[in-house]
Structure formats: C-alpha cells, structure tokens
Amino acid sequence: EDGKVLEPTKYVVKDGKVGDDYTTEKNKFDGYKFKRMGEFSADAIGKVEEGTKHVVYVYAKTGNVDVKYVDTEGNVLPGGEVTPVKTNEEVGTEYGTTQKTFDGYHFVKMDVKSAPATGVVTAKDQHVIYVYEKDSETPTPEKKKGS
C-alpha cells in the first residue's frame, strides 16, 4: 500500500491473441495481506485486449500482538499463557488487552520489555506482558493460653 514492489512485474500473457482468456491470482507475502486491487488495475480475470494491461494487487503491512501474564521471576501464571490478541492484522489497527486476576497474586507492573496494554498494531510483532507478585502469606496469630 506504501508503493513498495513485493514481486517484480511479470507477463501473464505476452503477444496473446485479442479475445483470449487470462487469469491472475493473489500471492501470499510474509508480513502483508491482500487489501484491494490497484486504482487503475485491470481485472484479475479477463480477456486479452489491444495494448498492455496491468493487473495490480495492493497489499497492506501486517503485524501480530500477543499477551501473557507472568510472576516476578518471569514464570507464566496458570491461565496466563501467551494468547494472540491480533494475528496478521493490518498495521495501524487498534488493539487492547486487560489486566487479569489470579488467585494468590496481585498485579505490580508491566514488564520493561512489554508493548503497551493498548495501542496499535505495528509491522514488528508486539508482546504485552503483565507482571504479578505472589501475595504475602499472613501468619495466623497463636492464641495465648492462660492469664
């Protein structure tokens, strides 16, 4: 979509007869997904005509966002495994994650390497990491006997 050529121009039909059929199809490119046909593109499937036709497929950059929940030692909490938030999503798409509750733990911070809890998809994969600390155990006071 930014004008970068992902594949060199190639002939589908060269010196074909007017009226012959031609067919083109979308390709897959890592980090991109098909968005639309180019503004002045010929149809993807059609008939050969006089002159040269150009079939132009437009792709948008994509990225991924995932989230995980860990303790202060970096261990993944039960139920806090890496979960996709956005997969192969167009760059610029908004995403959001939420802080969870885990029995015996409380949230303390976002990891220093974490992507923001909410933001937009970028071409580089992003990892949202919530950090939790184990709750301190409060000792049960002993009952005194006698006076």
Write out pLDDT tens, residues 71-100: 999 999 999 999 999 999 999 999 999 999
Res 144 pLDDT > 90: no
Where exactly are the structural domains of the chain?
62-134
Write out pLDDT tens, residues 15-73: 899 999 999 999 999 999 999 999 999 999 999 999 999 999 999 999 999 999 999 99
User: Helices (H) and strands (E) in the chain — how many of each?
Assistant: 0, 9
> In whole angstroms, what is the distance from residue 147 CA to residue 127 CA?
60
- Cβ(30)–Cβ(7) under 8 Å? no
> In whole angstroms, what is the distance from residue 68 CA to residue 51 CA?
56
Sign of the dihedral defined by the CA atoms of residues 61, 67, 72, 73, in that order: negative
Helix H or strand E segment including 94: strand 94-96
What CATH class is the domain 62-134?
A: alpha beta
